[in-house]
Amino acid sequence: MNINTLIPDWVDKENIRLFAGIEAIAKRDNGIWYIKDPRCNRCGECCKNVPDKWVRGKDFETGDCLHLKYEANEYLCDLGFHRPFSCCAEGAEGEQFCSSKWVRVN
C-alpha cells in the first residue's frame, strides 16, 4: 500500500485516519499503517449501556445511546453522516466484544 504520494505535504504523515463513508478503514499511528480487518459487524455493543450523562443522549429504559436503532438485523446510528467524529474514528476497537481489529500492514 502506497498512498503517501496522494497526501498533501501539510499533513502530519505520522498520524492519519482514512474513512469509507463514516467508517474508519485504515489508520497510521506513529508512522505505522493499520487496516481494519474485519470491519464492524454492527452489533451495537459499543453504543449500549452508555453513562447517564452521555453527551449524545441516553434512553433510560434500555441504557443505550438515543441514536442506536435496530434495523434489518443490524444496529445503526440514526445520525448517519451526522454521527460524531469520535464515534467514527475510534469506535470500540480493542474492547473484548468488538469485532473490528486493526492489522499492521508494514
Cβ neighbours of 56 (radius 10 Å): 16
Nearest Cα neighbor of 6 from 21, 23, 28 is 28
CA-based radius of gyration for the chain? 16
Is the bond preceding residue 8 a cis peptide, omega within 30 degrees?
Answer: no
Mean pLDDT score, 30-42: 89
What gap in Å lies between CA 90 and CA 80, rounded to an integer? 16
Q: pLDDT per residue over 84-94, tens digit each?
A: 888 888 767 66
For residue 4, the model assigns a pLDDT of 60
Cell representation of residue 15: 498520524
How many independent structural domains does the chain possess?
1
Amino acid at 49: N
Determine, yes or no, domain membership for 8. Answer: no
Determine, yes or no, domain membership for 46. Answer: yes
pLDDT at 68 over 90: yes
Note the pTM of the prediction, 2 decimals: 0.74
Please, which residues bridge with residue 104 across strands? Answer: 34
Please give the residue range of the domain that contains residue 61.
14-104
Determine, yes or no, domain membership for 44. Answer: yes
